[in-house]
A and B are shown apart, each in its own frame.
Chain A
Amino acid sequence: MNELLKIYEVAPRVKKYVVHTPVVSKHCLPGQFVIVIVHEGGERVPFTICDYDREKETITLLVQEVGYSTHKMAELKEGDSLYALVGPLGNPTDLDMYENLVLVGGGIGCAVIYPQAKLRKQKGLKSNVIMGARTKDLLFDIDEFKANCENVYISTDDGSLGTKGFVTTVLQERIDAGDKIDCVLVVGPMIMMRNVAELTRKYNIPTVVSMNTIMVDGTGMCGGCRLTVGGETKYACVDGPEFDGHKVDFEEAMNRSRFYREKEEKCRLRG
């Protein structure tokens, strides 16, 4: 169970893992996530599902090495198995009512919007995509997006590919060009999701963001993933992970997401 059938390095310190999991692959939909424990005794880490194949009974996870557990995961080889994998968790993306959907991905967030583009194509729905990263080496799967989307727009901070600037630079261009945009789904770092939401707020474009918060159980028990949406406390694991980007309190969410990262933290972080 949970065998890693294929591992690809798609960018420096970013790998794609194709995991054999009949149970999750049978039921998962775009927007949902899993919780992984890499080794026995390890921590529970949430990852959004980036692709799935019901016939081959696999899901794909995209993992960037950022901390102890993701580093441990990067040490695994094809044929190894994850100690535990639970899911699919959270609610699937529900945006089929929008004809003109723009998918915005930042960094590894691009991978998270991919299954949505693919499923829309299968359903005969169109989508446009804006992919952004610091530099072109951090972008991947552009051809896969091209095969599933009407238009693929790219931005890089350093201008090494596509428009020089941010995803918001491109989104502003598309708005200025008069593109019809019914809704924006944006997945990436919180600060990027906030900036996109701030831009679309001006044009009253409904905007959905995917909140990758700190979690322990992922099933609505610990409350660690709570955030404020429209003045109310919500739980990313059972109420989300997708929320109305115009209502999310990003300042608070960003502060909470830094909690276990802060260097001066007195907690016993290891690894």
Chain B
Amino acid sequence: MNNGPRNKTLHQSAEERIHNFNEVNLGFDDELMMQEATRCINCKNAPCRTGCPVGINIPAFIKCLTQNDKDGALAVISEASLLPAICGRVCPQENQCEGKCIRKAKLGGSVAIGALERYVGDYGLKKGTAGLKAPAFNGKKVAVIGSGPAGLACAADCAQKGFKVTIFEAFHKAGGVLVYGIPEFRLPKDDVVAREIDKLKALGVEFKLNTVVGKAVTFDELREEYDAIFIGTGAGLPMFMNIKGENLNGVSSANELLTRVNLMQAYKDEAITPVYCGKSVAVIGAGNVAMDAARTAKRIGGGEVYIIYRRGREEMPARAEEIDHAVEEGIKLVLLTNPVEILGNEGRVCGIKCVKMELGEPDASGRRRPIPIEGSEFVIDVDQVVVALGTSPNPLIRKSCKELEFNKKGTIVVDEESMSTNVEGIYAGGDAVTGAATVILAMGAGRKAAKAIIDKLL
């Protein structure tokens, strides 16, 4: 066993990376991988596994790595996850597997499970689709709505069991939030996301792009043609604060900024889609999407970027690595601060008026409730405001499948074990069910639904 401290992954320097969209975290090279893999003590209880939403046999794949058996490691991960190159990059490991690692507190830090998973995932991508082929058709068809992580995971498991799977995607590119939301510098689109999707195509999954279910094809049409339907339509309408000035020019949702830059590639010189690049930008919110938006704004605008959050640093919901990266890139955290008005001049943003906050008693979420400090208003001069406060579920499904049961928040009601909805043969998972959550939870939900579909139809 290696008693040394946790190894750090290779990174592009902050000075360099704020001028490009290339990946920031470069992962482990072979040597670092081996040093880190040998830190795993292969403990019997393997608490890390209980922290993994899809239950990857973590000690087993790391053991393979210590023997430099990359194929073995890939085989172990593939039993539980088909998208390790993606999950190794975007899972909040510190709250999941790594949060449970027994080396966390005293033994030099948790094993860098995420970085090791990514190493294996990238090895898998290099192997490409060789050896993958569609199994014999079992006679049953599955429709998957949305090609984000939930849909991809559901499709992969069903396709491997011989179902004919068709994925319906509203955008002109497959991948959902993996392509429109998460930036290139965190998750490369052509080299990672598209390669993972190629694997599904090799398994016989058909992608119908530019097709909005409920509009271009109705639920009744789907139910006639398919034996099961999985809804993985993800998040929907962006939430705003309902404060004065929110519809000024220069104010957008994080979704809009990220979609223009990621999906429409507005950061490239040859891009056609325009994007507004403020010289001084306020991003409201402190989740992963806020970090993505702030770091994107830094790269396209090159000026000051502020993250405004009403609680403290401890309470920021983003992954630790994303917050660290943002701070390294010179993004300023304006904490315990809440916007009260966006100021405009001739229809355009010219500032944001905020109030300072202090933390009071814990609220229903267990976090201390932020309370405004009277008379503490101040103005930050900005020419762009990006609101990253989450989303409410997409209304299209609710409007087009009236029999489906939704809860008060507008998310789809499912049985948590089978992910089945109240409508026979229709399953759902991901943000459409949970509200804004993580890639790995969506994948886990997609896999649960796939299992239920397989158990029921085979």
Q: Which residues of A contact B (CB under 8 A)?
A: 23-24, 27, 37, 41-44, 68-69, 83-89, 216-217, 219-224, 226-228, 233, 235, 238, 252, 255-256, 258-260, 265-271
Contacts and interface: CB of A to CB of B under 8 A. Distances in A.
Nearest to A252: B247
Contact of A233 (B180, B247, B252, B274): B247
A252 B244 CA distance: 12
Interface string B230-266: 0000011110101000111110110110011000111
Given A219-B394, A255-B249, A267-B276, A43 B264 contact: yes
B249 A69 contact: no
A259 to B, nearest CB: 4
28 contacts: A27-B216, A43-B264, A86-B211, A89-B212, A89-B215, A216-B273, A217-B171, A219-B170, A219-B394, A220-B236, A220-B394, A221-B235, A221-B391, A227-B247, A228-B247, A233-B246, A235-B237, A238-B237, A238-B394, A255-B249, A256-B247, A256-B249, A260-B274, A260-B276, A266-B279, A267-B276, A268-B274, A269-B274
Interface centre among A83, A85, A219 (most CB of B within 10 A): A219
A222 B242 CA distance: 16
A265 B276 CA distance: 8
Nearest to A233: B240
B452 interface: no
Interface centre among B250, B253, B265, B270 (most CB of A within 10 A): B253
B216 A267 contact: no
Contact of A86 (B212, B218, B253, B265): B212
B210 interface: yes
A269 B195 CA distance: 31
Contacts of B391: 221
Contacts of B264: 43-44, 216
Given A43-B272, A226-B247, A219 B260 contact: no
A74 B216 CA distance: 26
Interface centre among B247, B273, B275, B279 (most CB of A within 10 A): B273
Contacts of B238: 221-223
B255 A223 contact: yes
Interface residues of B, number: 47
A235 to B, nearest CB: 6
A229 B51 CA distance: 46
A266 B272 CA distance: 15
A23 B217 contact: yes
Contact of A41 (B211, B249, B270): B270
A269 B276 CA distance: 9
A107 B211 CA distance: 31
Interface centre among B218, B236, B250 (most CB of A within 10 A): B236
B128 interface: no
Interface in B190-220: 209-212, 215-218
A62 to B, nearest CB: 21
B271 interface: yes
Contacts of A68: 272
A221 B247 contact: no
A254 to B, nearest CB: 9
B135 interface: no
Nearest to B172: A84
B240 A223 contact: yes
A222 B395 contact: no
B90 to A, nearest CB: 19
Given A220-B237, A224-B252, A256-B247, A267 B273 contact: no
B60 interface: no
B360 interface: no
B382 interface: no
Contact of B210 (A85, A266, A267): A85
Contacts of B278: 266
B276 to A, nearest CB: 4
Nearest 7 interchain pairs by C-beta = A222-B256, A255-B347, A223-B253, A86-B210, A223-B238, A43-B273, A259-B249
Contacts of B273: 42-44, 216
B215 A88 contact: yes
B83 interface: no
B277 interface: yes
Nearest to A89: B215
Nearest to B256: A222
A69 B275 CA distance: 15
Nearest to B239: A223
Contacts of B255: 221-223
Contacts of B211: 23, 86
Given A41-B265, A224-B253, A259-B276, 18 more contacts: A23-B211, A27-B215, A42-B273, A83-B172, A85-B210, A86-B170, A86-B211, A216-B264, A221-B235, A221-B391, A222-B238, A223-B252, A224-B256, A233-B247, A238-B395, A256-B247, A267-B277, A271-B272
A220 B395 contact: yes
Given A86-B211, A216-B259, A217-B170, A268 B247 contact: no
A106 B209 CA distance: 34
Interface centre among B259, B264, B274 (most CB of A within 10 A): B274
Contact of B256 (A27, A87, A216, A269): A216
B181 to A, nearest CB: 9
B398 to A, nearest CB: 10
Contacts of B217: 23, 27
